[in-house]
Amino acid sequence: MPPKNPANAKFDFKKVYKDCYAPKPTPLKLFVPTLSFISVQGAGNPNEPNGAYQAALKTLFTLSYTLKMSKTTKALKNYVEYVVPPLESLWWGNEDLSNKANFKWQEMIAQPDFITQELFEWAQKEVQNRKGIDCTKHDC
């Protein structure tokens, strides 16, 4: 992750990696940086209320915002104020995709470099204790 912006501005993935998050209408050769993500894979219709897809999104965003706010609970040396990046999705399937029940997907949200495995595991426990969301069943 590049150094923090001047004037205490928040690090914003969409601004720093503008070509990745706001591509041009014409094709271009693009360098995609190595980033860390929280991700969840699943299958099924994304439009089902209370389905696996909705649960995955809830888990991802809850974890992402718990990590963002970790500065209020944890003493973090390398914390950088940042904007939670947008949701990114991969979709595929080997069957008839006109039936959304056949969709397979991976949902993910990029995370800043200071997020360590230890901090991520802390956030999983916080989400479980405070929100009752079991992150382990989503294979985050």
Q: What are the domain boundaries of the chain?
A: 46-75+88-135
Amino acid identity for residue 92 in this structure: W
- For residue 52, the number of C-alpha atoms closer than 13 Å in the C-beta half-sphere is 17
What is the arithmetic mean of pLDDT over 77-102? 90
Give the global pTM: 0.86
Task: Give the pLDDT band (50/70/90) at residue 6.
Answer: low
pLDDT: which is higher, 3 or 51: 51
Quick: pLDDT tens for 15-66: 999 989 988 899 989 888 999 999 999 999 999 999 999 999 999 999 999 9
CATH architecture of 46-75+88-135: Alpha-Beta Barrel (3.20)
Least confident of 26-30, 69-73, 134-138: 134-138
Q: What is the C-alpha to C-alpha distance for residues 59 and 53, in angstroms, rounded to an integer?
A: 10
* Two structure tokens written together for 106: 């991976």
